[in-house]
Structure 1
């Protein structure tokens, strides 16, 4: 009786969690893909998604750090800061990032629409289980954005957004220090 590797290493009926999934790095978005997503979110008047998308690109934060941002992390009074600094959950180190004018406008519109206070999470959860958007929900949102412009969602993830700005800067300058 011959058995395949899967039959000999896995109990009957058990399927590995990553069977059939792509492994390895996910690519960053290209400039035209960023604009395609951004324009569709603007036309659909998706304020939260636009603020989340723009902030993800500008901040280069991990998903867990992005969804746990509070209004006070990026705003002072009614003004969205051009530069912000947050402590990363994974490393415990501070990370500074710049917010473009476009991102500041999108975030301001979102804060105003939801009447968020300084201590509020920037992206509050709609469920009672958590106070802010979960990283899993953020990942599903990213999948929808990618599918919205006709890209294969399996090829992109939240880390694609984290890598996008750095890749664009490097391609433009060919200077790692600039990144």
Structure 2
């Protein structure tokens, strides 16, 4: 199937989100890896390049325990970033067990299946997300989906705390954050409908 250019949007619907997660987990040979990448990206709001650049030792202690925080440098900005891993602790435990079952040993958290001395490439993950979109008939999935979806859920569940979301995304303007979240006119009107102006 040929892909047209489209704008990657956050997944705003919980049912669709569950379908995407289920497809990532069950429709690929490395389903557990693909699913965990998505979960980590969604919960940490990291760019895909930073998620794929994570090393095993960034996330797991020497004794195998999942760390509470990972300390990394953003590839795009060069700034230090502290990643809170508690929201995906169980996913990371399940993933660690899967790596052991598959006898996969790599310094990378998300190694390539063809060459475990290298991390999965951004291009490969794009193909995984595009195939997921094809299987589900969704045309707005891409490598930024997990980050945008995580940001959208934080925005919604913090009662539209744009400042907090800006900080998490490392954005410098509200306008770019709102655009990133896919807050269009329809969404603005839906929010305004809930406001009591009396």
- TM-score (normalised: structure 1): 0.73
**Residue in 1 aligned with 2:174?**
none
Q: Which portions of structure 1, spanning 4 or more consecutive aligned residues, are displaced by more than 6 angstroms?
A: none
Q: CA-to-partner distance for each residue in 1:78-97, whole Å, 9 max, x for gaps? A: 11123322111111112223
**Residue in 2 aligned with 1:121?**
108
Structure with bigger gyration radius: 1
Give the count of matched residue pairs.
Answer: 155
Q: In the alignment, does 2:60 pair up with 1:78? A: no
Q: In the alignment, does 2:14 pair up with 1:26? A: no
Q: Relative to structure 1, is the Cα distance of residues 54 and 138 closer, same or farther in structure 2, using a 3 angstrom cutoff?
A: same
CA distance in 1, matches of 2:102, 2:44: 22
Give ranges in structure 2 of 5+ residues lacking alignment: 166-198
Give RMSD over aligned pairs: 2.6
- Taking the TM superposition and a 5 Å limit, the aligned residue runs for 1:134-145 are 134-145=121-132
CA distance in 1, matches of 2:16, 2:94: 18
Contact 2:41/2:150 (CA < 8 Å) preserved in 1? Answer: no
- TM-score (normalised: structure 2): 0.67
**Residue in 1 aligned with 2:95?**
107
What is the DSSP-based 3-state SS (H/G/I as helix, E as strand, rest coil) of the residue aligned with 1:146? helix
Q: CA-to-partner distance for each residue in 1:128-178, whole Å, 9 max, x for gaps? A: 5971111111111111222333312xx221112111111111112211244
Q: Relative to structure 1, is the Cα distance of residues 73 and 176 closer, same or farther in structure 2, using a 3 angstrom cutoff?
A: same
CA distance in 1, matches of 2:99, 2:164: 31
What is the DSSP-based 3-state SS (H/G/I as helix, E as strand, rest coil) of the residue aligned with 2:109? coil
CA distance in 1, matches of 2:116, 2:18: 34
CA distance in 2, matches of 1:156, 1:89: 22
CA distance in 1, matches of 2:143, 2:111: 18
**Residue in 1 aligned with 2:195?**
none
Q: Relative to structure 1, is the Cα distance of residues 114 and 85 closer, same or farther in structure 2, using a 3 angstrom cutoff?
A: farther
When structure 1 is superposed on structure 2, of 27-36 and 119-128 the one drifting more is 119-128
What is the DSSP-based 3-state SS (H/G/I as helix, E as strand, rest coil) of the residue aligned with 2:70? strand
How far off its partner does 1:109 sit? 2.9
